[in-house]
Structure 1
């Protein structure tokens, strides 16, 4: 099932060209202090298990709605650096990417965190953070955690997945830590919706594709991941308690490159869908550069 967030925090099921509104099936009342994680994702499993009669739900044409990030409030956004061998090779060959470091394996560097404030959906504007610095595109399969997890063995890891979405781990190049360079506002793009595991098949065998202005820049399959989906969940949960709505970006394949204001990115993940963003110039003193 494809679950979307649309039109200012409405929740919907996408079928064909229709969005069926299921917002009223969720408890959206606020409590304080709030439980860690995304309250809607925490309820999603129970709502799906209870059954949804799509035919009686109000619907809208998909072309008329504004899609938002399928996760509104992740407790944390985790990234997996250098998780494709070909990307390690290109990173080590490009001094603007490696900034003087030599990359070996993901486990040598660990995961990084992106600021939650970097999160946007596919219909929100993306601005480069600095007019005078390189910003790169990075297409990734994204895991969304469905229930609290800690020290999860890989053979049980997929039981903790709410679904998958497509993501852009936009990145400023430089010598600062990844947590800084990957966390400007808008540098985590998720969408177009969350797809439940039953519609995905094997998450470790999905095609990824990214085009800039119609030219293919990245194309690979998740079968090339060094640490696959289950292993990444095991790896992350060994250090962090994972909460509903937590996001794990699985890493980008080779082909990363710079984008400039005016460029258009089209990104897609097999069995999930596509998203498009337009690159806007940086702001200087509150005005476009």
Structure 2
């Protein structure tokens, strides 16, 4: 099932080229948002969704898609989780040494959004990734049961400013986490360790890999993270990027395509000329 957030926080599912509204299944307003409320009830309602009709659906072309989970309690990200990315960055460490880091939820934008470069004097790269979305609270779960806590997958771009600052700073600027275009539930997505990833920038093919090459797969990531912090419904796990990262410039169109999931596309806008107030690292390494 493809689940969408659209038109001011409404939620629905895609039936061919129509969006079927599911607002009646979530009810209420405020926190958490509608998608998180839907995911919390997903196992209860997934087999009894209303069929599409003229009364409860609209053409996909007529809606404005938003980030599928616009308000996760946290985004947990995996640094250096492909060996080829470790090699291209000339690093001696990977996720097994670094563990995970947090990105600010305020950095999320939707499919079709605009990534804004913050400074005129800093390099900013694209990092295409698979994102896993939590559907059931997870605390101290084993690797064997970890995927039972994942409800869906989606595309993610971990936009990254290079330099010596902490990862959570360099990756948390507003607009630095494009997410979408929708969620694909785990029963319809390819297996967690068998998802193809391709990323293009300005028509140039930059990244191509498969999640079988992850150093820590999705199950290990979820299990480990759950020993550090409780994962809540709607939390987003960015699983890491393969080799092929590179600089972004104003006007670029960036797309990441994941097999069985779809294509997330954003554009890039230049900075206003502001110079970074913090130090740079000329090598550009992560």
Report the TM-score when normalising by structure 2: 0.91
Would the aligned equivalents of 1:218 and 1:255 in 2 still touch at CA under 8 Å? yes
Q: CA deviation at 1:284?
A: 5.1
RMSD of Structure 2 on Structure 1 (CA): 1.7
Q: After the TM superposition, which segments of 4 or more aligned residues of structure 1 sit over 4 Å from their partners?
A: none
> For 1:110 and 1:209, how far apart are their aligned partners in 2?
25
1:122 aligns with one of 93, 111, 117: 111
Q: CA deviation at 1:203?
A: 1.2
Q: Measured at CA, do residues 153 and 9 of structure 1 come closer, stay the same or move farther in structure 2, by a change above 3 Å? A: same
> For 1:283 and 1:41, how far apart are their aligned partners in 2?
39
> For 2:149 and 2:15, how far apart are their aligned partners in 1?
24
Q: CA deviation at 1:131?
A: 1.9
Aligned to 1:233: 222
Aligned to 2:193: 204
Deviations 1:234-262 (A, max 9, x none): 11101010000111000000000001001
Deviations 1:45-71 (A, max 9, x none): 33314x112234621211221111110
Q: CA deviation at 1:103?
A: 3.3
SS in 2 for 1:198: coil
Query: Is the counterpart of residue 44 in structure 1 residue 42 in structure 2?
Result: yes
Would the aligned equivalents of 1:165 and 1:191 in 2 still touch at CA under 8 Å? yes
How many residues were matched structurally?
272
Q: Give 5+ residue unaligned stretches, structure 1.
A: 93-101
> For 2:3 and 2:165, how far apart are their aligned partners in 1?
36
Aligned to 2:16: 16
Would the aligned equivalents of 1:38 and 1:71 in 2 still touch at CA under 8 Å? yes
Would the aligned equivalents of 2:25 and 2:38 in 1 still touch at CA under 8 Å? no
Aligned to 1:62: 60
SS in 2 for 1:81: coil
Deviations 1:198-242 (A, max 9, x none): 001311111000111111100110110011110110111010100
